[in-house]
């Protein structure tokens, strides 16, 4: 596969090789469709050849993984298939693999080790809350970015390639080698407790230079007594985190991080000299002025429409002829009075032009309600998109027809959360993708191609049209101006008094 570097592979230009493991090769690539750099994991062909259901599992499970976002997780975009290779597309993060850093015997200070573990612990706990298990956490699945932050790679991939229902031998063939918790060795499926065990094993490896030695897996025993001399707190934490019984370990990764010792760093201590009272008042006035001036431009621009919440962008992938891909961008949350945009885009696969599309749909995919915000859709020349949002106002028509061009088609709907929204919570939103066919009797009928449902969280809070912070800023500004005038007049009166005393002394 090294001969691909510098060449075009499907829709990707291969820029370089990042690393390789038992699953395949990960490349640094450029997506020629979106013009962005990505990490492209190309799976070995034997994985799909020996497991015919792998493609279906990945297509079905990739939506949940792609919708997961965390600052310490390498974002998964989608799945692609080129030249019979299954490829996983994710965000490109410049940096180095933690396994390479450990392999090169680079020293890691204790505070750096604790910082890495804290980054990964936050990502794991959030993934577990959303029902995602990593299943293969090791130094090879951690990237240290150029900014020094730790990012978790391949989240949930092992669970899709070798699902919990797979036997132990099949999991061993499909999943790269990593510290295996005792319960997984005995045939149990990986769980959040298994991920926390793997995180503790990674901590052990960063502290000692080698992974823990797997001992007996009897109840209550630790599987990895520390061989290298370390401060006692690390020994105590790892003894619990590497316990053989899952119930004896920490309930969350954050609980383990909370008990890690933090090396003290010498810091300079500054002592402020006492200031005159008038100076203190002036400082408060200055701060109030600065705060008010910074807040006013934003608040005065407020026009009752809402600041749009950050959208959850998804990623589309091309597929075979007459099967296009869709991607949906939706708001994650919205408050009463706010507005947001819902976007649907349909893309044609490479090599297919608009002239190749049939006038009437010929569905080959099973039509069913889906929750994935990216996936496949049958194509025809004219496609309708219809948005339905329970409890939200849709500005403009709900159903819009588009004529597919070679670049695909795009729908944009503006939705607004009413000011009188009764209660916060999740609101169901759905998009129907359909075509209108004319039957032999001359009547039109809608042919459903895809229906996607998702939820938008309505948050509680004050309506966007009545910001109380505007009054706070105005009061702060008036107070600051009043204090400034008072100080100026007080100083002027003192100066006048001084001059008067000087003149009377001169007269006498």
The answer to whether residues 163 and 217 touch, using CB atoms and an 8 Å cutoff, is no
The answer to whether residues 87 and 79 touch, using CB atoms and an 8 Å cutoff, is yes
Question: Among candidates 44, 41, 35, which has minimal Cα distance to 11?
Answer: 35
- Alpha carbons 477 and 464: distance in angstroms, whole number: 22
Mean pLDDT of the 360-373 span: 58
pLDDT in tens, 401-451: 998 888 888 999 988 888 776 578 888 889 999 888 776 676 778 888 888
The string of DSSP codes covering 210-267 is SPPP-----TT-BS----S---HHHHHHHHHHTBSSGGGS-SSHHHHHHTS-------
Confidence of residue 456 (pLDDT cuts 50, 70, 90): confident
Mean pLDDT of the 272-288 span: 54
Question: Among candidates 147, 100, 91, 92, which has minimal Cα distance to 119?
Answer: 147
Res. 257: pLDDT tops 50: yes
Per-residue b/e over 401-420, b at no fewer than 16 CB within 10 Å? eeebeeebbebebebbbeee
pLDDT in tens, 225-243: 444 555 567 888 888 999 9
The count of other CB atoms within 10 Å of the CB of residue 400 is: 16
Question: Among candidates 464, 473, 420, which has minimal Cα distance to 307?
Answer: 464
Res. 338: pLDDT tops 70: yes
Counting every residue written for the chain, the total comes to: 508
What are the angstrom distances between the C-alpha of 447 and each of 304, 358, 432, 444?
40, 14, 10, 10
Residues facing 120 on adjacent strands: none
Q: At what angle do helices 192-208 and 232-241 cross, to 10 degrees?
A: 150
What are the angstrom distances between the C-alpha of 311 and each of 15, 74, 131, 341, 425?
30, 18, 22, 8, 18
Residue 435 or 303, more confident: 435
pLDDT in tens, 77-103: 888 888 888 889 999 999 999 988 888
* Residue 18: exposure state from Cβ atoms within 10 A (0-12, 13-18, ≥19): buried
Q: Compute the chain's Rg from CA coordinates.
A: 30
The count of other CB atoms within 10 Å of the CB of residue 303 is: 8
Mean pLDDT of the chain: 75
Confidence of residue 269 (pLDDT cuts 50, 70, 90): very low
Q: pLDDT at position 121, please?
A: 94
The tokens describing 434, both together, are 């359909």
- Alpha carbons 5 and 12: distance in angstroms, whole number: 11
Q: pLDDT at position 14, please?
A: 92
Q: Which residues, other chains included, contact 482 with Cβ-Cβ below 8 Å and sequence gap of 6+?
A: none
- Of the listed ranges 287-291, 355-359, 501-505, the one predicted with least confidence: 501-505
Res. 248: pLDDT tops 90: yes
The structure tokens 């915000």 sit at 373
Q: Which residues, other chains included, contact 287 with Cβ-Cβ below 8 Å and sequence gap of 6+?
A: none
Res. 291: pLDDT tops 70: no
The string of DSSP codes covering 121-167 is HHHHHHHHHTT---S--SGGGEEEETTS-EEE-STTHHHHHS-TTS-
Q: pLDDT at position 296, please?
A: 57
The answer to whether residues 380 and 440 touch, using CB atoms and an 8 Å cutoff, is no
SS3 351: coil
Res. 169: pLDDT tops 60: no
Question: Among candidates 1, 2, 18, 24, which has minimal Cα distance to 175?
Answer: 24
- Alpha carbons 501 and 495: distance in angstroms, whole number: 10
Res. 315: pLDDT tops 60: no
The count of other CB atoms within 10 Å of the CB of residue 74 is: 21
Residue 436 or 469, more confident: 436
- Alpha carbons 507 and 299: distance in angstroms, whole number: 58
The answer to whether residues 14 and 29 touch, using CB atoms and an 8 Å cutoff, is yes
Phi, psi of 371 (to 5 degrees): -115, -5
Confidence of residue 320 (pLDDT cuts 50, 70, 90): very low
């Amino acid at each position: 596969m090294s001969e691909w570097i510098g060449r075009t592979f499907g829709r990707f230009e291969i820029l370089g090789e990042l690393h390789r493991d038992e699953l395949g090769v990960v490349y640094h690539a450029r997506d020629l469709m979106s013009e962005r750099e990505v990490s492209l994991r190309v799976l070995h062909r034997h994985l799909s050849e020996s497991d015919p259901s792998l493609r279906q599992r990945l297509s079905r499970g990739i939506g949940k993984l792609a919708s997961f976002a965390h600052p310490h997780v390498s974002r998964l975009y989608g799945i692609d298939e080129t030249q019979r290779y299954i490829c996983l597309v994710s965000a490109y993060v410049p940096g180095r693999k933690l396994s390479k850093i450990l392999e090169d015997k680079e020293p890691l200070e204790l505070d750096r080790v604790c910082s890495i573990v804290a980054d990964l612990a936050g990502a794991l706990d959030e993934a577990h809350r959303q029902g995602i298990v990593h299943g293969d956490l090791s130094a090879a699945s951690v990237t240290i970015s150029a900014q020094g932050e730790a990012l978790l790679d391949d989240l949930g991939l092992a669970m899709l390639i070798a699902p919990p229902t797979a036997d132990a031998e099949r999991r061993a063939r499909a999943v790269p080698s990593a510290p295996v918790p005792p319960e997984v060795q005995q045939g149990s499926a990986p769980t959040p407790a298994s991920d926390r065990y793997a995180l503790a094993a990674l901590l052990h490896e960063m502290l000692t230079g080698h992974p823990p030695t797997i001992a007996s897996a009897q109840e209550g025993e630790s599987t990895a007594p520390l061989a290298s001399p370390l401060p006692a707190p690390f020994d105590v934490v790892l003894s619990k985190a590497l316990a053989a019984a899952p119930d004896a370990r920490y309930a969350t990764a954050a609980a383990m991080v909370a008990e890690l010792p933090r090396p003290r760093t010498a810091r300079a201590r500054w002592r402020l000299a006492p200031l005159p009272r008038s100076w203190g008042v002036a400082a408060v006035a200055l701060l109030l002025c600065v705060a008010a001036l910074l807040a006013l431009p934003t608040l005065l621009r407020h026009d009752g429409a809402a600041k749009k919440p950050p959208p959850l962008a998804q990623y589309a992938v091309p597929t075979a002829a007459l099967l296009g891909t869709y991607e949906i961008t939706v708001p994650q949350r919205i408050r009463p009075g706010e507005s947001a945009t819902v976007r649907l885009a349909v893309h044609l696969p490479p090599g297919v032009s608009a002239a190749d599309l049939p006038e009437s749909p010929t569905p080959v995919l099973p039509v069913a309600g889906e929750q994935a915000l990216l996936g496949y859709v049958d194509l025809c020349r004219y496609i309708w998109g219809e948005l339905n949002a329970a409890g939200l106002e849709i500005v403009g028509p709900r159903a819009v027809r588009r004529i597919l061009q070679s670049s695909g088609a795009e729908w944009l709907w503006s939705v607004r959360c009413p000011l009188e929204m009764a209660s916060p919570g999740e609101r169901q939103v759905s998009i129907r993708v359909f075509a209108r066919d004319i039957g032999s009797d001359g009547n039109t009928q809608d042919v459903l191609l895809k229906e996607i449902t998702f939820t938008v969280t309505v948050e509680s809070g004050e309506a966007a049209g009545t910001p109380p912070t505007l009054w706070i800023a105005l009061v702060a500004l008036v107070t600051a101006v009043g204090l400034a005038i008072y100080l100026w007049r007080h100083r002027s009166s003192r100066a006048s008094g001084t001059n008067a005393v000087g003149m009377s002394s001169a007269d006498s």
